[in-house]
Amino acid sequence: MKVKTLSVLLAGLASLNAGLAHAELPAIEAGGATFNVYGNVDQYLNFMRSSSGKSLNALEEGGYLRTRVGVRGEKPVDTDLSIKFQLEQGLNITNGSQADSTRLFDRQAWVGLKSVYGEFRAGRQNTAVFYRGSYIDFTARTMGSVINAFGVASRYDSDLAWISNRMDGLLLEAHYSFAGAKENETDNQGVYQLAADYENGPFRIGYAGVGGKSPYASTVDKTVFYNNLYANYDYGRGKVYLAYVRTNNNASTCTNSNSDGSCKAGYTLNNGGAPLGNTGSLVTGTSTGANTYYNIWQVSADYKLTPKLRLGALYGRIEDSSGTGKNANGWAVGAYYDIFKDTMIYALADVLSNDPNAGFRPSGSAGLPKNYTAASDVNGETIRGVQLGFVYKF
């Protein structure tokens, strides 16, 4: 990148930090390319109470959109041919830290080629399951969503992707991640994805799935998958959503460890872990959670009371089809109000009820920085919450 272009991009970021309010950052053009600096800030007050009697009151971030900053660009190089890229970093706005301190761009870092045959991309990318959140329910599959409480496989490294152009309403997508590839290794733990989305007037229907295999001769030799079917209907003043997930991507997890790595007594949640990691981990083949299969059902709807105010409600059920009793159900109601073009406030009330053997916790676009960690407050308990927040986009 030319020094002049880089300096303009950095100047854009500096102006943001200086307090550029209620104004979209303009696109930057240099050398025939167009660049955009973008991002959002999302903070909310979270008031939760477990049926164990434990309350949690906190200022959290990422209830609706994980706080982030990024830059993306596109440059035409030939007729109907363009080079694209995207670099995106998640942030914890409550303390200014990176969402992932081990990465400079933890959310996305890819380069691609846009053509008449679709887009071809390579790098760290969001999964097709992840970015279809707004097709799933009125929360855009964030805080308040029962499906989101289960956890979603979100992004992978070394990912090759093809995304078709939309043809007569149909869009197709395929990914393969080489994140597990090693030199001279016959057991390549690739992560694969397939997706299809069809639009026809007010109707949308689609599928998005991701799967990863365990290493050869693993203790738990199971392919871990997450398959999501969805449909929604736009009736003019809002939408009705239906969603179904079939998956074995869940396991027990430890929320507080001893110095030797063992779990402290009373800190093993019955659910919360993910054999196929939510943000790029591979299947280790050691998690017995891969032996438990779940069906998740959810229905929701929203209604635009005014052009700026949207109300919604949902109900969902997590069913353990393997007979180990790790079931849960939940509901939520919410309101979203656009104060300005780039600023929204939201309010939610939600309940997540765990059966005696289940241990699910609420989650937003980002995992809750402050959450219940003791098993006695989660396993078999009901968690009730109220969230009040805002999102500012730039």
Q: Report which residue type is found at 66.
A: R
Can you tell me the distance from the alpha carbon of 229 to that of 128, in angstroms, rounded to the nearest whole number?
Answer: 12
Q: Give the three-state DSSP class for 16.
A: helix
Full set of structural domains in the chain with CATH: 3-40+61-331 (2.40.160.10)
304 CB contacts (<8 Å, ≥6 apart)?
Answer: 237, 238, 310
Predicted local distance difference test score (pLDDT) of residue 353: 98
pLDDT beneath 70, residues of the chain = 1-26, 30-31, 180-188
Predicted local distance difference test score (pLDDT) of residue 239: 98
Predicted local distance difference test score (pLDDT) of residue 214: 85
Predicted local distance difference test score (pLDDT) of residue 227: 98
Predicted local distance difference test score (pLDDT) of residue 179: 74
Predicted local distance difference test score (pLDDT) of residue 2: 46
Tokens of 163: 């995304």
- Which contacts qualify for 209-213: CB closer than 8 Å, 24 or more apart? 209/128, 209/129, 210/127, 210/128, 210/129, 210/153, 210/175, 210/276, 211/276, 212/180, 212/276, 212/282, 212/283, 213/189, 213/283
Can you tell me the distance from the alpha carbon of 198 to that of 223, in angstroms, rounded to the nearest whole number?
Answer: 28
Place of tokens 């887009």: 119
Predicted local distance difference test score (pLDDT) of residue 67: 96
pLDDT tens string 248-294: 999 999 999 998 888 999 999 999 888 887 777 778 888 899 999 99
Place of tokens 């005014």: 306
Are the C-beta atoms of residues 294 and 355 closer than 8 Å to each other? no
